């Protein structure tokens, strides 16, 4: 069995943004030289997500608006967590909807994807560097 570990860093300028990280993940799959296995991609911070969906700007806007409806940022004092001095409780909630991680099959040395699958980093409390972990095991 082989294993491969790498960390990506994202420093999003705004509070919230979706970043298509598929090209970076493809490069790491290739670098790992693993032909058959599983690839875990996860946010290492708890106010960010990694998820798979469509790279269509209208949809990404829809996600942003929808998450703001389900877990609004304002008023910040509606959340107990923000009594700690933080203002990011909503980001912890949004991240639960979108998920922490994805596990992707590696087949013949490539991400085994359907036609529209793309991997996104979802930032809900940006303006500082955050890490994403990529772990691949297989042969």
- Using CB under 8 A, pick the residue from 18, 95, 123, 126 that binds a copy of itself: 95
Q: Is 28 in the site for a copy of itself (CB under 8 A)?
A: no
Q: Which span sits near a copy of itself by CB under 8 A: 13-21, 24-32, 88-96?
A: 88-96
Q: How far is the CB of 89 from a copy of itself (least distance, A)?
A: 5
The smaller minimum CB distance to a copy of itself, of residues 15 and 117, is found at 117
The set of residues, in sequence order, having a beta carbon less than 8 Å from that of 26 and lying 6+ positions away, is 110, 111
The set of residues, in sequence order, having a beta carbon less than 8 Å from that of 89 and lying 6+ positions away, is 76, 79, 80, 81, 82
Q: What are the φ and ψ backbone dihedral angles of 116, each rounded to 5 degrees?
A: -115, 5
Q: Is 43 in the site for a copy of itself (CB under 8 A)?
A: yes
The smaller minimum CB distance to a copy of itself, of residues 19 and 137, is found at 137
């Amino acid at each position: 069995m082989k294993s491969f570990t790498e960390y990506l860093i994202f420093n999003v300028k705004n509070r919230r943004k979706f970043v298509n990280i598929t090209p970076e993940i493809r490069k790491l799959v290739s670098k790992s030289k693993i032909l058959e296995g599983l690839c875990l991609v996860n946010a290492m911070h708890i106010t960010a997500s990694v998820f798979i969906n469509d790279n269509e700007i209208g949809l990404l806007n829809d996600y942003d608006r929808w998450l703001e409806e389900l877990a609004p940022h304002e008023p910040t004092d509606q959340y107990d967590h923000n009594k700690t001095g933080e203002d990011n409780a909503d980001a912890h909630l949004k991240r639960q909807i979108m998920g922490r991680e994805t596990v992707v099959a590696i087949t013949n040395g490539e991400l085994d994807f359907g036609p529209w699958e793309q991997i996104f980093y979802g930032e809900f409390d940006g303006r500082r560097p955050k890490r994403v972990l990529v772990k691949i095991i297989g042969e």
